[in-house]
Structure 1
Amino acid sequence: MKAKVYVTREIPESGIDLLRNCCDLEVNLEERPPAKEELKKMVRGKDAILCLVTDRIDKDVIAEGAELKVIGSMSVGFEHIDVAEATRRGIYVTNTPGILTDATADFAWALIMASARRVAEADRYVRDRKWK
């Protein structure tokens, strides 16, 4: 029997394909995080939920997922999940620590270089048609 999984937002197609091969999958296709009542409804009867940092997985949501075994978050942090409640109920909580380390460092250097080279100021100058 395949695990029943709810994915709270669209994720990369490669991830969806992996999950579809081994799970009965439901994906929220809305371009917004699901409201609390939607989350509560969608976790019913699910073995797992894959969420993002924008999804508040609190005690009330967890209580609706009586069959939940795993709450996975595609985020570095997990402050949006009531980890204590999940642990109390024997539900594993996972996240993706370190996944943004390189991207954050790259972006920090990009901002440093943009500031040092006055990129934003130059962009405004060109867009205001002052460059000749």
Structure 2
Amino acid sequence: MPKPKVYVTRELPERGLKIIKKYFDTEVWTEYAPPPKKLIIEKAKNVDALASLLSDKIDAEVFDAAPRLKIVAQMAVGFDNIDVQEATKRGIYVTNTPEVLTDTTADFAWTLLMAVARRVVEADKYVRTGQWKVGWHPSMMSGRDIHHATIGIVGAGRIGYAVAKRAKGFDMKVLFYDVIPRPEMEKELRAKRVDLDTLFKESDFVSIHVP
């Protein structure tokens, strides 16, 4: 029995592709930039599945060309690029990958916050451009402390919560703003829900996690 066919719109990590290839007759777009929509439409004509990314517009035009299509599997949390309503009308499944990047995104938010606080990028440029000529001075690129400071988090969903959780490791005071109550954040992390004006007035650092 022949395997179902899938078109993968980007070269995914080998571990994932290996699993896909085990169960599907697989064709992969191997260039770094996303495939043109015309190509996706052409490839969709003869496949049972599409594995897509956020940069791929998957809409009625694609579905019209894909009589065999049964599923669009998106490697992303978001799926604004897919016309889900149109897919539902045609009985085509749409899947995404929620929560897989929650901790990764929170880690990166902290990377940026710490780089700004300690002037890492600025200091790197200072050295690489030959401006560091006088040794060390107490006020040179000292930045500011993160520990025991106040962080304000706008948007206390999964990622906002993960950022707040990391803040506790620095003994920070955590303020947050969200349109809905987050009692688990207040109870588990001792974070305080405040209005936006208060958050901006009292925070040393602000991390925004809203669409």
TM-score by length of 1: 0.95
Deviates further, 62-71 or 29-38: 29-38
Q: Distance in 2 between matches of 1:72 and 1:117?
A: 41
TM-score by length of 2: 0.61
Residue-by-residue CA offset, 1:57-81 (whole Å, 9 max, x unaligned): 1110111111111000101100000
Q: Distance in 2 between matches of 1:30 and 1:110?
A: 29
Which residue of structure 1 aligns with residue 39 of structure 2?
A: 38
The letter for the 1-side match of 2:104 is: A
What percent of counterpart residues are identical? Answer: 53
Q: Distance in 1 between matches of 2:126 and 2:33?
A: 36
Q: Distance in 2 between matches of 1:54 and 1:15?
A: 19
Residue-by-residue CA offset, 1:13-69 (whole Å, 9 max, x unaligned): 111111111111111112221111101100112110001111111110111111111
Which residue of structure 2 aligns with residue 74 of structure 1?
A: 75
The alignment partner of 1:71 has SS state of strand
Q: Distance in 2 between matches of 1:33 and 1:128?
A: 36
How many pairs are equivalent?
132
Which residue of structure 2 aligns with residue 119 of structure 1?
A: 120
Matched, 1:11 2:12: yes
Q: For 1:84-99, what aligned pairs fall within 5 Å after superposition?
A: 84-99=85-100
Which residue of structure 1 aligns with residue 27 of structure 2?
A: 26
Which residue of structure 2 aligns with residue 48 of structure 1?
A: 49
The alignment partner of 2:99 has SS state of coil
Structure of higher CA gyration radius: 2
Q: Distance in 2 between matches of 1:99 and 1:63?
A: 31
The letter for the 1-side match of 2:67 is: A
CA RMSD of aligned residues (A): 1.0
Once the two structures are TM-superposed, the CA of residue 3 in structure 1 deviates from its matched residue by 1.0
Query: Structure 1 stretches of 5 or more lacking a match?
Result: none
Once the two structures are TM-superposed, the CA of residue 91 in structure 1 deviates from its matched residue by 0.4
Q: Distance in 1 between matches of 2:74 and 2:42?
A: 19
Once the two structures are TM-superposed, the CA of residue 131 in structure 1 deviates from its matched residue by 2.0
Q: Which runs of 4+ in 1 moved over 3 A?
A: none
Q: Distance in 2 between matches of 1:48 and 1:29?
A: 17
